[in-house]
Structures are given as structure tokens and as C-alpha cells.
Chain A
Amino acid sequence: MKKDRFIIKAIPWIGLGFVFGFVILLLSNFNFNFDLSTMFTYFGYSCIGISIISMILSIYFMCSSKSMINKKSDDFDKIEIKIDNSIILACISFITCLISFGIVMYGSHFNTLKSIFSTIFTIWFIVTCFASSYIQYVCVELNKKINPEKKGNALDFNFSKDFYNSCDEAQKIIIGEVCYKSFMINSSILLWTLVALIFAASFIDIGFFTIVLVGLINIVNVLVYTIISHKLQYKGSIIYSAMK
């Protein structure tokens, strides 16, 4: 229920991101038309709008949860929701920034973007890289304050492994279910993307590189799932090793 409310709250902000991106588009005096490169550039502007707003919201949630912990609030569920929101929004900010940066590279290459905007986008990309890493680090540290059993440093390469190992049986089951759903969604998206790309290749020149790349990712996705599943079932691996 709380997650539903968060999504309802997030939709207007994402819409605001698009509006923000559109305003930047108008300010840039960009000649708006409906060719492919222009649409890509518009999408890039919109993504950076989402990225900036997500980052601001992420910092807000991070500060809010920090303040609750400092006030020694015992409403741990609320603090955890705020920490989760902060991490989710930092990830959205980083990924949308990556998309917009990729489109900027495309725009710079085909001269459809003013150099001043290329510079602004590049600076924002660097800022987002550092800011999202810092937010994730702070959120993990806050999480460790209210859940002292949690281990791992967000800036460490082994963080995911250390954090996973410090989870108990229920949390590992939740991670397992999340991974399964994530795998199913990714498989469907990759398959339909591949079909759409093959269909699109009949009409526009998209090259074979994208089709090969999506196909390879799909193969890796399925292989990793089946190999690990096989190992866990037949090689005597201990499931729930944390509960000995």
C-alpha cells in the first residue's frame, strides 16, 4: 500500500521532469521537428530533467531519514521507506543521466546539439556519478545504524556480497523472489526488443550491431539463470547457509 502511494506521488514528479526537459528544449532554440535525431535529442533533454528532479528528491529523502535517526525516532519502518526511496531515486537519476549522456554523445557526433548544452550535460553526468555514489553510501550507513547486523561498505567492490551475506533467511527469500521477477521481466523485455529490432530493421537502417548486442545479452541472461539454478539443485550447495 505504501509503495503504491509512493508511485502515485512519483508520477507527477516524473511528469515535471519531462516539462523541465521541454523548457530546456525551448530555451536552446532547437529547431523542433520529427526526425529521428531530433526526437532522440528531445528525449535526452527530458531524461536530464528527470535526473535532476530525482536527485533533488533523493537528497530530500536522505536528509529526512537522517534527521529521523538523529531524533532517535523508533518508527523504523518509516525510516526504511525513506532510505529505500532515496536509493531508488538516486538510481533513477543515475540511469536517466546515463541515457541523456549517451544521447548527448550521439547529438555531438551528428552536430544536432549546441556545444554549451553538451558541456552542461557532461558536467551534470560527472556530478550525478559522484552524488549517486555518495547518496548510496550514506543510505547504507543509515541502514546499518538502524539494522546493526548489516555488513558491507557501499564504496567497496565486495559490497553486494557482504551485504547479501549479512541478510537473514526472510531477506534472502525476498531477494530470491525479486531476482526471479526481475529475470522474468528482463527476459520478456529482451525478447520483445529483439523482435521489434528485427521488425524495425526491415524499414529503417539500424545496423546489425544493436540486434547482435540485444541477442547476446538475452543469451547471457538465460545461461546465468539456468547454470546457477543447476548448480544449486544438483551440486549439493547449502541453501540458507546463514541459518546453520
Chain B
Amino acid sequence: MLINNLKEYRVKANINQQDFGSCVGVSRQTISLIERGDYSPSVTLAIKIARYFNVNVEDIFIYKEDSNEEG
């Protein structure tokens, strides 16, 4: 499963969901979905988000093995 620190980065950058969505080319709802963990973004969007904060994709999005997948 993919977990993320997007909200922490966004709050630290002092930008709201609406403005951040405009910066990376998606809607406020999509940013909200990603922050809640209800949506895993495409590679393109993940890179755009990481570039906005000048960090690597893995700093924001962390892939964790699902215990169900291992079994």
C-alpha cells in the first residue's frame, strides 16, 4: 500500500489544497483524496508533486508491503 506525507509537506509550505492543486494541475478534491490515502496518484502526478517541494518522490510517497500480499 502507498502511504504519503503530502499533508505535512503542504502545511509546511503554507499552501492550501486549492492553490496546491492548481500548481500541480489537479483539482482540490484530488489533493484531498491523496492526503486521506483514498487515491494513489499516477507516476506523472507523483513526480509533479515531488518537484514542487524539491524532494524525491519517495520522500512523500512511501510504499509499504501489505501483509495480505505477503501471505
12 A-B pairs with C-beta separation under 8 A: A77-B32, A147-B29, A150-B27, A168-B25, A168-B26, A168-B30, A170-B26, A170-B41, A171-B29, A243-B25, A243-B44, A243-B45
Question: Using a CB–CB distance below 8 Å, which chain B residues touch chain A?
Answer: 18, 21-22, 25-30, 32-34, 39, 41-42, 44-45
Question: Using a CB–CB distance below 8 Å, which chain A residues touch chain B?
Answer: 76-77, 80, 146-150, 167-171, 173, 240, 243
Additional 15 contacts, C-beta under 8 A, given A150-B27, A243-B45: A76-B18, A146-B28, A147-B29, A149-B22, A168-B25, A168-B27, A168-B30, A169-B26, A170-B26, A170-B30, A170-B33, A170-B34, A171-B27, A173-B39, A240-B42
Contacts between chains A and B (CB distance < 8 A), count: 40
**A173 to chain B: closest residue by CB:** B39
- Which chain B positions have C-beta within 8 A of A80? 29
- Which chain A positions have C-beta within 8 A of B29? 80, 147, 170-171
Interface of B is mostly: helix
> Which 4 A-B residue pairs are closest in the complex by CB-CB distance?
A168-B26, A170-B30, A170-B39, A243-B44
Q: Are A147 and B27 in contact (CB under 8 A)?
A: yes
Q: Are B44 and A149 in contact (CB under 8 A)?
A: no
- Which chain A positions have C-beta within 8 A of B26? 168-170
- Which chain B positions have C-beta within 8 A of A76? 18, 28
Q: Are B42 and A149 in contact (CB under 8 A)?
A: no
Q: Are A169 and B28 in contact (CB under 8 A)?
A: no
**A170 to chain B: closest residue by CB:** B30
Rounded to whole angstroms, the CA-CA distance of A240 and B39 in the bound complex is: 15
Q: Are A169 and B42 in contact (CB under 8 A)?
A: yes
Question: Assuming A170-B33, A170-B39, is B45 touching A149 (CB within 8 A)?
Answer: no
